[in-house]
């Protein structure tokens, strides 16, 4: 592996014009494809294998032409203080609004509040239901404007009017904090490298990689039914790993220069060593993201594959474009620890000789004095001296942070989780005020009586059975289809859609359906957005353990190959579990309990998004293994080259701690930038990933990992002999390159390596 990547790095350095042209061409091609692609259509949110999806599919078969997946809107009216919606003037305003809404070209139907009994008992609130022929994302802007204009005209007449439903669904915005995150990353890079040029390389390559990835997603969005959240997720992860991967290679390149290497050779060795770590770190992230397919939720699978593709692009760019850009930068990227005045001078021939670089390094040491131990070295030395105390403190701290996770409640966001500044949220609150909280999440019961001898009797029995259940406010009469073999019944719970009581009611209806089927032969199914959310949450919970076993198991095997050890990968996996549980605890504390909710812009607390645990397991595991690979491969490299286990830990921190710290801060800044998103899902993911990186990088990898390695000593690198012989030697440490150097390979031999 190291030898192949060494050749690749030198080739990219030498043929930099060709490499740069390829990536610019790919970026241009993706950009043209995105610009010329048709707008993204509806995002299919099918959940195979769930009862809610089965009922939804049945509705499309038995009630054709009713646009089961069409957008909906509820225009909610509230009378001025002291008036009723049944007053003549207010009634005339509502009826005029209904007539205007019915004139829309994409409108399937509009229900008049007065004929549809959609007026509250106290007469102060009414609503008109609007159904459209197409989904919310496919609605034309003129249709949305017509809806808003109709509501505004009713407001001008003196009524309070708000619009709920998905007809006004908008593409989520990330806000200015995303730019702030990138700016923070730029500052950290400048501090780390002490050079604008060196700092600019990771940012430039990360932006190119994200540009290619997101543009490709946009170009394929209509064909593959990719939602807007998919591109945001790809951007979030692509930026973070793209900067990190490039950072590690540039840092290793500067370290190789400081050892006296020629620049072309330093680029090859940086890609051969740090690039090997990048490949395996990227593989763990890709495995974790692609593994989301085991959940069998198409939307989640597409999100994972799209983000994995962006990560793969980031790896390829780091391995090829970074050495190419280092070739362009020349002496503007200086050796690690070098001063600009001493090593910033150009030579006329534009080349560095190994002897000249070594002389410059010696001169630098003469001017600055002996190199002092850096902060990473001092910290590692402390941990090696006090490993048990550091280990206990880290584990107890993460355990305390994970305590709120024991109170985790899962659900999917609805209009009730929107900011109070939105008309959707205000409509939600008005409906709760006028008709009860359960009115915002009605359950649709579908009765399939095709196998029943008396369909009408079956419909009546189902309706009567539901009326007798606890937690039911209202049940509409059965509405059969033209064939008379299927009917729909709307059920209004007395609790809000995301509550545990509503979930219990759904299960109670389904349990009652089993007895009804035995008596009548009719099958009872519960669907609707509320039932769909409940089924999604349960499906995700059921898939969490198999997914965890699959992803962690595959990555464990991969890390055995990388580290040639059993205990190091095991320790990596256990440390990840600590960090992800602590991160889930922080998410619960902020988004469910409301701690620091004002600071995070969380206007409404409630259940944690149901896909958050499995998503965090996947993404955080991949990112956690990044730091594990980057930091521990340096320790492994020192150990393989003859250092004692304790000293190898210190050496690994000497070379890697500063860079890993910078990488973690950059990744946290990028993720935290998405906390400003208007989309609750994106905001929660941004916070969860940022805090998870903090726990994993600074507590697990910087404290617990060296403490465990210090306690284990040589046992940490133990591997059964039979397994050692069976495993392929990927040479992440670059031992093959070191051997070639010891043989005294000259420039001619190096060129032969590149040609072969």
- pLDDT per position as a tens digit, 450-504: 888 888 888 888 888 898 888 888 888 888 888 888 998 889 898 888 788 888 9
Q: Which of the two residues, 583 and 103, has the higher pLDDT score?
A: 583
Q: Is the pLDDT of residue 546 over 90?
A: no
* 475 touches 490 (CB < 8 A): yes
Kindly compute the dihedral angle of the four CA atoms of residues 711, 715, 716, 719, in this order, to the nearest 10 degrees. Answer: -170
Task: Give the lowest-confidence range in 280-289, 322-331, 423-432.
Answer: 280-289
Q: Which of the residue ranges 365-374, 541-550, 689-698 has the most confident prediction, judged by mean pLDDT? A: 689-698
Q: Both tokens of residue 483?
A: 């064939």
Bin 646: left if φ > 0, else alpha if -120 < ψ < 50, else beta. Answer: alpha
What is the number of other CB atoms lying within 10 angstroms of the CB of residue 389? 12
* 566 touches 572 (CB < 8 A): no
Instruction: For residue 252, give Cα distances in angstroms to 261, 280, 314, 643, 659.
Output: 12, 16, 17, 20, 10
What is the structure's pLDDT at 178?
61
Q: What confidence category does residue 314 fall into, taking pLDDT thresholds of 50, 70 and 90?
A: very high
Q: Report the distance separating Cα 131 and Cα 568, nearest Å.
A: 58
Q: Report the distance separating Cα 254 and Cα 195, nearest Å.
A: 12
Q: pTM of the predicted model, to two decimals? A: 0.76
DSSP state letter for 696: I
Using alpha carbons, select from 142, 154, 94, 97 the residue that is nearest to residue 118: 94
Q: Report the distance separating Cα 738 and Cα 744, nearest Å.
A: 10
Q: Is the pLDDT of residue 558 over 90?
A: no
Q: Across residues 42-68, what is the average pLDDT? A: 75
Kindly compute the dihedral angle of the four CA atoms of residues 288, 293, 297, 303, in this order, to the nearest 10 degrees. Answer: 60
Q: Both tokens of residue 424?
A: 């959707």
Helix extents (H) in 225-353: 228-258, 263-290, 298-329, 340-343
Q: Report the distance separating Cα 602 and Cα 597, nearest Å.
A: 5
Q: Report the distance separating Cα 26 and Cα 30, nearest Å.
A: 6
Q: What confidence category does residue 741 fall into, taking pLDDT thresholds of 50, 70 and 90?
A: very low
Q: Is the pLDDT of residue 59 over 50?
A: yes
Q: Which of the residue ranges 508-512, 536-540, 726-730 has the most confident prediction, judged by mean pLDDT? A: 508-512
Q: Both tokens of residue 162?
A: 């708000």
Q: Is the pLDDT of residue 548 over 70?
A: yes
Q: What confidence category does residue 171 fall into, taking pLDDT thresholds of 50, 70 and 90?
A: low
What is the structure's pLDDT at 364?
36
What is the structure's pLDDT at 177?
58
Q: Report the distance separating Cα 30 and Cα 711, nearest Å.
A: 50
Q: Which of the residue ranges 44-48, 255-259, 504-508 has the most confident prediction, judged by mean pLDDT? A: 504-508
β-bridge partners, 609:
411
Q: Report the distance separating Cα 195 and Cα 189, nearest Å.
A: 8
Q: Which of the two residues, 703 and 220, has the higher pLDDT score?
A: 703
Chain centre distance of CA 104:
38
Q: What confidence category does residue 733 fall into, taking pLDDT thresholds of 50, 70 and 90?
A: low
Using alpha carbons, select from 483, 615, 474, 600 the residue that is nearest to residue 541: 615
Instruction: For residue 422, give Cα distances in angstroms to 130, 170, 416.
Output: 19, 11, 10
SS3 457: helix
Surface-to-core class of residue 742, CB atoms within 10 Å of its CB (0-12 exposed, 13-18 middle, 19+ buried) = exposed
Q: Which of the residue ranges 115-129, 168-182, 251-265, 313-327 has the most confident prediction, judged by mean pLDDT? A: 313-327
Q: Report the distance separating Cα 748 and Cα 756, nearest Å.
A: 13
Q: Is the pLDDT of residue 27 over 60?
A: yes
Q: Report the distance separating Cα 376 and Cα 382, nearest Å.
A: 10
Q: What confidence category does residue 248 fall into, taking pLDDT thresholds of 50, 70 and 90?
A: confident
Using alpha carbons, select from 6, 540, 567, 635 the residue that is nearest to residue 294: 540
Q: What confidence category does residue 695 fall into, taking pLDDT thresholds of 50, 70 and 90?
A: very high
- The beta strand positions in 48-100, using DSSP E, are 72-78
Q: Which of the two residues, 736 and 217, has the higher pLDDT score?
A: 217
Using alpha carbons, select from 288, 322, 313, 231 the residue that is nearest to residue 12: 322
Q: Is the pLDDT of residue 657 over 90?
A: no
What is the structure's pLDDT at 345?
39
Determine how β-strand 479-480 pairs with β-strand 160-165: unpaired
Q: Is the pLDDT of residue 365 over 70?
A: no
SS3 443: strand
DSSP 589-639: IIIIS-TTHHHHT--S--PEETTHHHHHHHHHHHHHHHHHHHHHHHHHHHH
Q: What confidence category does residue 359 fall into, taking pLDDT thresholds of 50, 70 and 90?
A: very low
Q: Is the pLDDT of residue 324 over 90?
A: yes
β-bridge partners, 74:
129, 164
610-624 pLDDT tens trace: 778 887 887 787 777
Q: Which of the two residues, 612 and 155, has the higher pLDDT score?
A: 155
Q: Is the pLDDT of residue 78 over 90?
A: yes
What is the structure's pLDDT at 747?
39
80-94 pLDDT tens trace: 998 999 899 999 999
Q: What confidence category does residue 602 fall into, taking pLDDT thresholds of 50, 70 and 90?
A: confident
* Torsion sign across C-alpha atoms 7, 10, 11, 12: positive
Segment (H or E) for 79: none
Q: Across residues 118-144, what is the average pLDDT? A: 83
How many percent of the chain have pLDDT more than 70?
87
* 605 touches 593 (CB < 8 A): yes
Q: What confidence category does residue 691 fall into, taking pLDDT thresholds of 50, 70 and 90?
A: very high
Task: Give the lowest-confidence range in 62-66, 174-178, 202-206.
Answer: 174-178
Q: Is the pLDDT of residue 574 over 50?
A: yes
SS3 164: strand
User: 593: which residues sit within 8 A by CB, 6+ positions away?
Assistant: 404, 407, 605
């Amino acid at each position: 592996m190291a030898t192949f990547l060494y050749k690749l790095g030198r080739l990219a350095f030498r043929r930099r014009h060709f490499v740069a042209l390829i990536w610019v061409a790919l970026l241009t091609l993706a950009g043209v494809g995105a610009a010329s692609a048709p707008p993204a259509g509806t995002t299919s949110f099918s959940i195979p294998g769930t009862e809610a999806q089965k009922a939804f599919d049945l509705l499309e078969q038995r009630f054709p032409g009713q646009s089961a997946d069409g957008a909906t809107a509820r225009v909610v009216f509230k009378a001025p203080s002291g008036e009723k919606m049944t007053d003549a003037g207010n009634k005339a305003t509502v009826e005029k609004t209904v007539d205007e809404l019915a004139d829309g070209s994409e409108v399937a139907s509009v229900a008049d509040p007065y004929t549809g009994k959609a007026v509250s008992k106290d007469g102060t609130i009414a609503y008109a239901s609007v159904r459209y022929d197409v989904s919310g994302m496919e609605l034309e802007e003129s249709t949305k404007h017509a809806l808003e204009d109709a509501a505004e005209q009713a407001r001008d007449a003196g009524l309070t009017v708000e619009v709920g439903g998905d007809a006004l669904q908008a593409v989520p915005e990330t806000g200015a904090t995303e730019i702030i995150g990138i700016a923070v990353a730029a500052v950290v890079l400048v501090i780390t490298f002490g050079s604008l040029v060196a700092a600019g390389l990771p940012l430039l390559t990360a932006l190119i990689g994200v540009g290619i990835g997101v543009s490709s997603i946009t170009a394929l969005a209509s064909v593959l039914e990719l939602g807007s959240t998919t591109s945001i997720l790809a951007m979030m992860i692509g930026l973070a790993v793209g900067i990190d991967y490039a950072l590690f290679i540039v840092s290793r390149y500067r370290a190789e220069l400081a050892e006296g290497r020629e620049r072309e050779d330093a680029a090859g060795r940086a890609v051969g060593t740090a690039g090997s770590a990048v490949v395996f770190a990227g593989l763990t992230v890709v495995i974790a993201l692609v593994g989301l397919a085991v959940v069998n939720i198409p939307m989640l699978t597409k999100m994972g594959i799209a983000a994995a593709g962006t990560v793969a692009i980031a790896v390829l760019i780091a391995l090829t474009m970074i050495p190419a850009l280092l070739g362009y930068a020349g002496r503007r990227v200086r050796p690690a620890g070098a001063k600009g005045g001493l090593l910033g001078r150009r030579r006329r021939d534009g080349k560095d000789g190994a002897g000249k670089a070594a002389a410059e390094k010696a001169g630098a040491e003469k001017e600055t004095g002996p190199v002092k131990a850096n902060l990473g070295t001092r910290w590692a030395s402390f941990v090696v001296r006090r490993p048990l105390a550091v280990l206990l403190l880290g584990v107890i701290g993460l355990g305390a942070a994970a305590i709120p996770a024991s109170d985790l409640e899962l659900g999917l966001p609805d209009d009730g989780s929107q900011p109070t500044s939105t008309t959707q949220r205000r409509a939600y609150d008005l409906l709760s005020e006028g008709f009860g909280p359960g009115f915002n999440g009605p359950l649709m019961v579908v009765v399939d009586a095709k196998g029943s001898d008396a369909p009408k009797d079956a419909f009546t029995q189902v309706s009567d059975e539901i009326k007798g259940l606890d937690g039911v406010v209202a049940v509409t009469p059965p509405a059969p289809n033209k064939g008379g073999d299927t009917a729909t019944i709307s059920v209004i719970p007395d609790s809000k859609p995301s509550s545990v009581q509503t979930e219990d009611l759904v299960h109670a209806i389904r349990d009652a359906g089993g007895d009804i089927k035995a008596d009548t032969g009719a099958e009872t199914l519960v669907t609707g957005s509320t039932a769909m959310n409940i089924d999604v949450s349960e499906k995700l919970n059921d898939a969490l353990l198999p997914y965890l076993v699959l992803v962690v198991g595959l990555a464990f095997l991969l890390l055995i190959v990388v580290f040639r050890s059993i205990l190091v990968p095991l320790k990596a996996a256990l440390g990840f579990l600590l960090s992800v549980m602590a991160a889930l605890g922080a998410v619960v504390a902020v988004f469910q309990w409301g701690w620091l909710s004002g600071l995070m812009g969380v206007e409404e607390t409630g259940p944690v998004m149901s896909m958050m645990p499995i998503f965090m397991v996947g993404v955080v595991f991949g990112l956690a293994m990044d730091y594990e690979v980057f930091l521990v491969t340096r320790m492994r490299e020192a150990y393989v080259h003859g250092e004692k286990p304790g000293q190898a830990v210190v050496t690994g921190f000497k070379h890697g701690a500063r860079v890993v710290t910078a990488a973690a801060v950059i990744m946290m800044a990028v993720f935290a930038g998405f906390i400003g998103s208007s989309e609750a899902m994106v905001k929660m993911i941004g916070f969860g990933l940022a805090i998870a990186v903090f726990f994993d990088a600074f507590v697990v990898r910087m404290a617990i990992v060296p403490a465990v390695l210090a306690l284990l000593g040589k046992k940490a690198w133990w591997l059964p002999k039979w397994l050692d012989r069976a495993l392929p030697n990927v040479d992440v440490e670059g031992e093959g390159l070191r051997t070639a150097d010891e043989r005294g390979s000259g420039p001619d031999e190096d060129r032969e390596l590149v040609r072969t």
